[in-house]
Structure 1
Amino acid sequence: MKVKKVLTLAIIAVCSMGMISCTAETKKTEQVMAQEKTTYQKKYTNADFYKDGKFDQEAAKKAFLDMFDFYGVPFTPLMEKDIWFTDFGLGDFEHVGMGGIFWINDPEYGYFAHNIYLLPGQMIPEHAHVKTKFPAKHESWMVNHGWVYNFSELGDETPNAPEVPASHGLIKSKNFVVQKVGDVLRLKQLESYHFMMAGPEGAIVEEWACYHDNDGLRFTNTKAAL
């Protein structure tokens, strides 16, 4: 009888452990699913963005509208009219490209307001703004949604940098910080090279600056253009 009782208790203990393990795994799975629901996920690739080798603006718009919807960003009539999307002529919008809107770009009073839209993992080509008949552009940025790697050519090389897409080529900027929601950063020095790359959640970034003169824009990759 004692042996039978011991065996029964052992079986009950094993079953209980199994139930606890299953419950823990279920909770873990639920937590992962909940986390995935609270972060924006990459959904589009170059297969979506190009038709017969040509960049498809409407496909890019669809991708950004999906991200705007996730982050609760209203798509206003002004955005419908003035928003733009570019792969900078490099043919790799999935990795090198952006959406944007110039809210204002005033040469008379010398100020500029801009929103930068980046899909998950997307980067703006490395560039600098040099003096023309207008002063060299100085700028500041604040992340509203998602986060970015903010790169500069000034400062020591930061370890564990994300991989730069092959379509972009070599970069000068090896120093970076992870810029999160609410963080405000400034261009470190006039005419210095810099760029942003979105994290896996994409990013929406405000930019404030001096007047933006496109003639003063210099890309590291000479094939890139805005």
Structure 2
Amino acid sequence: MRTEFKLKTLAVGLLVSSMVACTGKTSEDNTSCAGDTTCCSKDSVCNKNKEMTYTKKYTNADFYKDGKFDQEVAMKAFKDMFEFYGVPFTPLMEKDMWVTDFGLGDFENVGMGGIFWVNDQEHGYFAHEIYLLPSQMIPEHAHMKTKFPAKFESWMVQKGMCYNFSAVGEETPNPPALPESQKGFITSKNFVVQQAGEIVHLKKIETFHFLIAGPGGAVVSEWASYHDNAGLRFTNTKASL
């Protein structure tokens, strides 16, 4: 009997010790790891319970007032996404970040935010951050040669994920839902799912392409040769930048 009692006591002691290790509290606190969102920061089960996905919070009803695009609301939407992903909104972004609906009146589905970190004619290089709200698409476009070489570009997703579409290659099955406003203006049918940390390059100079964010939005870094806006061509002729 004494041996059985000692074994039970040892088992209870081990249980209490494990609770203290997880919560930093004793049984007197009447709490457990499962009920404490601050405990077990390295525990996969606890972390899984805390995982969240950014979701759409704004619609065209928010972005347009009397038919006019409200850039302040658009910036507010991006700042909300930045806060979720831990992207600092710096003084430079406050000064130079821009938003556009490409003149299409459908910012909820077609538009972007961005900042040109550098666009150097002399040395022929370009760095850009692309900001896309959930399921937001950049209109299909290509960069043609002007007095400058046609733009070649590469993209790396920093936050969220996106679908990277190209007119080069066979049609990829099971594409994401594309905006109704862009039907009839899309020739790029090949795509890859681009996750955070992955890099994709333009498949061929002067070919059409576009990005569309996943349901959690996306922050994408772009590196390229010099961007000459005169060489920008949209398949939707109503679009402009």
Structure-1-length-normalised TM-score: 0.84
Distance 1:40 1:184, change over 3 A: same
The alpha carbon displacement at 1:163 in A equals 2.3
Which residue number corresponds to residue 191 of structure 1? 206
Give the secondary structure class of the aligned counterpart of 1:38: coil
Which residue number corresponds to residue 96 of structure 2? 82
Distance 1:77 1:191, change over 3 A: same
Which residue number corresponds to residue 40 of structure 1? 54
Equivalenced residues, count: 197
Q: Deviations over 1:97-148 (max 9, x none)?
A: 0000000000010000000000000000000000000000000000000000
**Aligned-residue CA RMSD (Å):** 1.7
Q: Deviations over 1:23-51 (max 9, x none)?
A: xxxx9xxx9xx668521111110011000
For residues 185 and 198 of structure 1, the distance between their equivalents in structure 2, rounded to whole angstroms, comes to 14
Which residue number corresponds to residue 160 of structure 2? 146
Which residue number corresponds to residue 238 of structure 2? 223
Distance 1:216 1:36, change over 3 A: farther
Alignment partner for residue 65 of structure 2, among 51, 55, 61? 51
Q: Where does structure 1 lack aligned partners over 5 or more consecutive residues? A: 1-26
Which residue number corresponds to residue 112 of structure 2? 98
Q: Name the aligned partner's letter for residue 138 of structure 1.
A: F
Q: Would you say 1:200 and 2:211 are equivalent positions? A: no
Q: Is the 8 A contact 1:169 1:221 kept in 2?
A: no
The alpha carbon displacement at 1:164 in A equals 1.9
Q: Would you say 1:124 and 2:138 are equivalent positions? A: yes
Q: Would you say 1:72 and 2:86 are equivalent positions? A: yes
Distance 1:195 1:35, change over 3 A: farther
Give the secondary structure class of the aligned counterpart of 1:85: strand
For residues 169 and 108 of structure 1, the distance between their equivalents in structure 2, rounded to whole angstroms, comes to 39
State percent identity of aligned pairs. Answer: 72
Give the secondary structure class of the aligned counterpart of 1:148: strand
For residues 74 and 55 of structure 2, the distance between their equivalents in structure 1, rounded to whole angstroms, comes to 16
Runs of 4+ with >2 A deviation: 34-37
**Where do 1:100-115 residues align within 5 Å?**
100-115=114-129
Which residue number corresponds to residue 172 of structure 1? 187
Give the secondary structure class of the aligned counterpart of 2:182: coil
Q: Where does structure 2 lack aligned partners over 5 or more consecutive residues? A: 1-33, 35-44
